[in-house]
Amino acid sequence: MQITRRRLLQTGGAGLALAGTGAGRLWAATELSFGGVTVQTLSDGHLVLPADFIFGPMPEAELAPLLSDFGLSADAPLNAPCNVTLLRDGDRVVLFDAGAGNAFQPSAGELLGALDAAGLAPEDITHVVFTHGHPDHLWGVLDDFDDPLFANATHLMGRAEWAYWYDPATVDSIGSARTSFAVGARRRLEVLEDAITFFDDGAEILPGVAARASFGHTPGHMSFEIRRGTEAVMVVGDAIGNGHLAFARPGWPSGSDQDQTLAAATRLALLDQLAYEQMRLIGFHLPAGGLGRAEKTSDGYRFVPEAG
């Protein structure tokens, strides 16, 4: 397996550039190749989140020293990187999630520039596969005219996830803090309704790409195992939502999860599998481009970014 970590791509196809040169906008990508496929992560920018959005339900007395260890504060906003995974496999060019678009947060929605820097246009994408329907993963699927941005692509979403966001009752049950999530998801899924392909847990959605149920963050959240022979990487979406406490204390509830109890159980099981099998993972909100491994510690796990 050949790995290139933190490859810096400059807009306009100018090739590699060094951070801090000021010559255009840079997008960090992590790239690996195995079994005839190439997997990259491209930045959609980042989210700015109130700390309470994640830390709110966690045990306060135990939380404080851990935050200090990670250089975090319960009072300061969190910057969450957004890593969109791109799979190149022969004629297939597959995006896992579509980014936030221009209607969510001004710090996100940079995917088009990252694709351009990688030498791709929206019409080059053959498949868009969704982990779940939250804004930073789904809202970038439409262009400024509310038409599908990836016009030549087949769009795929887990059946349970689609049913949740398409249900008109969701807007009344999701809670006021996420009402806009439900409204925005339904509007976009209505546009895709006649073109969506559904799948269930365990399905091979594309050659060598298997869907793995990882419910809890949302009711139908899916992860995806990209495998060629004995080599594999797991695209975990938001099932492992950050590079600090999601690893150090995976059993703790996170305010970012819609079903906090189920999400914690899912996170524990997923980390146990990844650490035991030493399978690489890509997380949408993990640091260093999102690619790395889960390493078991005495009381939890830690995220180890993939070495270049």
- Amino acid (1-letter code) at residue 153: A
pLDDT confidence of residue 256: 97
Instruction: Check pLDDT > 90 for residue 143.
Output: yes
Q: What angle do CA 184, 136, 142 make, to 5 degrees?
A: 55
Segments forming the whole domain that contains residue 120 = 2-305
CB-hemisphere CA count at 13 Å for 1?
20
DSSP strand pairing (92-96 vs 127-129): parallel
| Residue in 150, 141, 244 with CA at minimum distance from that of residue 190 | 141
Q: Which of 221, 96, 112 is nearest to 164 (CA)?
A: 221
- Following DSSP, what letter does each residue of 80-131 receive, concatenated? EEEEEEEEEETTEEEEES---TTSS-TTB--HHHHHHHTT--GGG--EEE-S
pLDDT bucket at 275, cuts 50 / 70 / 90: very high
pLDDT band at 306 (very low <50, low <70, confident <90, very high): confident
Given a cut of 90, is residue 22 above it in pLDDT?
A: no
**Prediction pTM value:** 0.92
**What distance in Å separates the CA atoms of residue 143 and residue 166, rounded to the nearest whole number?**
20
- Residue 33 sits in a domain whose CATH number is 3.60.15.10
Domain count, the chain: 1
Model pLDDT for residues 192-243, shown as the tens digit of each residue: 999 899 999 999 999 999 999 999 999 999 999 999 999 999 999 999 999 9
Residue with tokens 């990844």: 274
Q: Is the pLDDT higher at 88 or at 308?
A: 88
